[in-house]
Amino acid sequence: MNLILLSTIKSLLHLAPKYLIQIILIKMAKLLKFALIGFLLIVSVVMNVNPVNAQRRCTEILDPNNCVPDDCKNQCIQKHNGNGLCVGSSGTGQFACACTYDCLNSHLNTK
């Protein structure tokens, strides 16, 4: 009885590497399938991203001598729907009202 059991165990051990290789190959195939799905998902997302069209910005000096921050902002919004800021004038020590706005839409906002 022990001899039969021993021979059965030996035959199973002899076959074990074949089954082990099959199990490893099946697991590798599953891993490869998930890696391929992930890669295709990433590629499809990247291909669907639309490029950003940066809009050109323009600047106009609205008042070169006396800038009042609130007036500068309001004037810039009314004229160009932009952002008005007081900036230092070169060499004069005074502040100028600089209006920065979207160049493409400025013709729609100009009054």
How confident is the prediction for the chain on average, in pLDDT?
80
Nearest to 100 by CA among 37, 61, 58: 58
Q: How far apart are CA 35 and CA 89, in angstroms?
A: 60
Nearest to 76 by CA among 34, 31, 111, 35: 111
Contact 76, 82 (CB under 8 A): yes
Q: Check: CATH 2.40.50 for 57-109?
A: no
Domain boundaries, the chain: 1-49, 57-109
* Sign of the alpha-carbon torsion through 101, 102, 104, 105: negative
User: Between vectors from CA 59 to CA 74 and to CA 86, what angle results, nearest 5°?
Assistant: 50
**Whether this model's pTM surpasses 0.85:** no
Retrieve residue 106's tokens: 């400025």
Kindly provide the residue ranges of all beta strands, DSSP E only, lying in the chain, ordered along the sequence.
57-63, 83-88, 95-102
Q: What is the pLDDT of residues 15-63, one digit of tens each?
A: 666 677 777 778 888 888 988 999 988 888 888 777 666 678 899 999 8
